[in-house]
Amino acid sequence: MKQVSRAPELITTQWFNSDSPNSLEANLGKVVLVEVFQMLCPGCVSHGLPQAQQVHNMFPKSEVVVLGLHSVFEHHDAMTPTSLEAFLHEYRVTFPVGVDAPSKAHDLPQTMMTYGMRGTPTLLLISREGALAGHHFGQVPDLRLGAEIAALMQGETVPRKDDQIDSNIRPDSVVDNTCTDAGCTVKDF
Amino acid sequence: MKQVSRAPELITTQWFNSDSPNSLEANLGKVVLVEVFQMLCPGCVSHGLPQAQQVHNMFPKSEVVVLGLHSVFEHHDAMTPTSLEAFLHEYRVTFPVGVDAPSKAHDLPQTMMTYGMRGTPTLLLISREGALAGHHFGQVPDLRLGAEIAALMQGETVPRKDDQIDSNIRPDSVVDNTCTDAGCTVKDF
Amino acid sequence: MKQVSRAPELITTQWFNSDSPNSLEANLGKVVLVEVFQMLCPGCVSHGLPQAQQVHNMFPKSEVVVLGLHSVFEHHDAMTPTSLEAFLHEYRVTFPVGVDAPSKAHDLPQTMMTYGMRGTPTLLLISREGALAGHHFGQVPDLRLGAEIAALMQGETVPRKDDQIDSNIRPDSVVDNTCTDAGCTVKDF
Amino acid sequence: MKQVSRAPELITTQWFNSDSPNSLEANLGKVVLVEVFQMLCPGCVSHGLPQAQQVHNMFPKSEVVVLGLHSVFEHHDAMTPTSLEAFLHEYRVTFPVGVDAPSKAHDLPQTMMTYGMRGTPTLLLISREGALAGHHFGQVPDLRLGAEIAALMQGETVPRKDDQIDSNIRPDSVVDNTCTDAGCTVKDF
């Protein structure tokens, strides 16, 4: 196996739809799709989460693992784990969902910070070797996502990043945000 | 004007998108559409609320008033006024929304109890004279709703009830509920 | 009854889904919706015809009559009555559909010319008194259409024209046309 | 290269959107998607053809080729090549489309017969080696199709047939057919 740079681990405080914590490490050898969302992000509810659920239902779980990550960067009081749990129940989300660990100094949670995400929904694809192979903000066509997953299933090892990851995010400057049908964007990103 | 039986007044604890409380009484002379919803009810989010918003945008506000009513009968801790306020912001709901007053003895809030509603979304139509002219649970086709509103605008005075109102609801028996794409139903109703 | 100017009669060569010819004259006293379309116009197929079919199914036929009008202004060899008949069968259009009479000197058929239509789909609304009460090119929201039909059902008598009818159409200048998802437009109109 | 059984060649009388005839033979080495349709089949128009067009637009043409096949098995007079040409223009289909050669003795055209197709839309996937790798009747989810195409791009050589191919089709018994939103089915198949 070629040596590849591992994607940063998910930093979470608790998990729903799962008896125990989940991690990228524990899923080495499988393709992992991480659906990063906020429960009050319209674009996540209308297409990001249904698409992730469809991947969860369609691909063999021994080869493709779907994990949700609730990365709240706004309205923190409105999107608590208690609200999230009811949301997952009512919207019939059945794959494991972790809560992205809050940061002490600013609004963006830790995993979101680490990956330099631009907002929600964000979809990460992790190769069998644990490398970051896809990083999409907004809506990804089903046809393309299916093709990317299948390529990773067959052992593509070269990391591929569709969105450039920007480590220069300055969360201190985050004051407000804007949601559209496509998603919710971190302010001044 | 023919004497008609007035629809029961809305019983609310607070209002969003409005500087002051709203009521059916205050809107006598206009047609009123009341969109009864829960923020975590998928059918409310996907069609009930967008339809109400479209009525709010399309009809002259001097003649047709749209009011939302957040009637929580499940997951009360998850759908607090704090969460509701963020929800209304993110989903760009701009018409006034009241919080249906909780009941002391059971899960169903007071206005929902009074009207014998079967779940969410429920759409009420109130005539210019203040009579209950429509009571729909679930999805109402736009064509039909447009026709009903226009008929009321032109002064139809006979109360019309599409769903039979059942005053025999026994909330003590409400244990659980079921949500589908169409809406969320009060248990054992 | 107030005297109103009658809408021009439909000029047709044959009818489908009907044992005998139809006309505006024969439907005086009822509200008439005329759905003007071409079978190869994508916007007609995706929303104009389904909407007209829904009106046909939903409103009482003793009060609201739906008539289709196949007004071909391009690709005449491709949209013959033979093709139209198969189209109506496959797409399950059940209301009467007339063929707009071809013009001798130019591409636009006669009824389309008379009304100065801009393309397809065009939706005409005729009042109970036979007056032209609505003339829409492109997509009409269901909510608005339902309201307009209901207003006419209740006897609104003042003609209302949403699109200005332009009698200055110069069909000689029609060379080509453009179709979008919304509809197909007569060239240089 | 492993020896595989070649998929039967397309039997066509003419092509649109192409300067010269197309064939499976000429595309050996590439993945080929064949979209089999009828221009008056609602399921083909609403999802089969748009999906094929999306594949044509999204994947590199040096690796994935999309071919349409107009396989008329009903209403032959209504779906002539003349009508097809206008249809392709109005619906903005830009990939090459061949006309499946009519049979002398019965309603089903020759390629449709050879493959034992059940109706339209039918989607065929041909591997780089020319083997039949997928045969779907009706609607195929984009996620699955994307995955199947990507697997074939990476050299999967084992033929895979999602629908059992039935060579026992008896076209003499074809009298009528039924169309639904999903597609049009050959009678008594």
- Cβ D59–A147 below 8 Å, yes or no? yes
pTM tops 0.90: no
Q: At CB < 8 Å, which residues of chain C contact D?
A: 40-42, 45-46, 74-75, 77-80, 82-83, 85-87, 89-91, 179, 184
Question: For D1-12, what is each residue's pLDDT tens digit?
Answer: 556 799 999 999
User: What is the structure's pLDDT at A157?
Assistant: 53
D78 in a domain, yes or no?
A: yes
| B chain contacts of residue C153, beta-carbon cutoff 8 Å | 147, 151
Q: How confident is the model at residue B84 (pLDDT cuts 50, 70, 90)?
A: very high
| ipTM confidence | 0.86
What confidence category does residue A171 fall into, taking pLDDT thresholds of 50, 70 and 90? very low
Q: Mind listing the pLDDT tens digit for each residue in B10-59?
A: 999 999 999 999 999 999 999 999 999 999 999 999 999 999 999 999 99
Q: What pLDDT, on the 0 to 100 scale, is given for residue C168?
A: 35
Structure tokens at D97: 């489309």
Q: How far is A37 from chain B (nearest CA, A)?
A: 14
Average pLDDT over residues A21-43: 97
Residue D3 domain flag: no
Query: Is residue A170, in this structure, part of any structural domain at all?
Result: yes
Read off the CATH number of the domain in which C89 is found.
3.40.30.10
| Pairwise CB contact (< 8 Å): D141 & A58 | yes
Residue contact C78–D78, C-beta within 8 A: no
- Between strands C12-16 and D31-37, the pairing is unpaired
Q: What is the pLDDT of residue D177?
A: 57
Q: Which residues pair with D65 in a beta bridge?
A: D32
Q: Which residue has the tokens 């979304």?
A: B121
Whether residue C5 lies inside any domain: the answer is: no
Whether C3 is in a domain gets the answer no
User: Between A42, A90, A91, which is nearest B91 by CB?
Assistant: A42
- Residue C2 included in any domain: no
Rounded Cα distance between A153 and A125, Å, is 11
Which positions ≥6 away from A36 have C-beta within 8 Å? Answer: A68, A69, A71, A100, A111, A112, A117, A120, A121, A122, A123, A124
Domain holding D120, by residue range, is 12-19+27-186
**Judging by beta carbons within 10 Å of its beta carbon (0-12, 13-18, 19+), is residue B176 exposed, middle or buried?**
exposed
The predicted structure's pLDDT at residue B173: 38
Q: Do C184 and D90 touch (CB under 8 A)?
A: yes
Give residue A26's pLDDT band: very low, low, confident or very high (50, 70, 90): very high
Q: How confident is the model at residue B3 (pLDDT cuts 50, 70, 90)?
A: low
In a domain, C72, yes or no: yes
**What residues in D contact A128, CB-CB < 8 Å?**
none
* Ranges of residues in chain C whose predicted pLDDT is under 50: 158-176, 189
**Three-state DSSP class for residue C133:** strand
Number of domains in chain A: 1
pLDDT digits (tens, 9 = 90+) for B147-174: 999 999 998 654 444 443 333 333 333 3
pLDDT, mean over chain A: 88
Residue B81 included in any domain:
yes
* Residue C97 structure tokens: 């559909």
**Closest chain B C-alpha to C23 CA, distance in angstroms:** 25
Other beta carbons less than 10 A from residue A168's beta carbon: 6
Contact at CB, B85 and A78, closer than 8 angstroms: yes
CA-to-CA distance for D110 and D114, rounded, in angstroms? Answer: 6
Per CB-CB distance under 8 Å, the chain D contacts of C179 are 90
Give per-residue pLDDT as tens, B48-79: 999 999 999 999 999 999 999 999 999 999 99
Structure tokens at B179: 């949500």
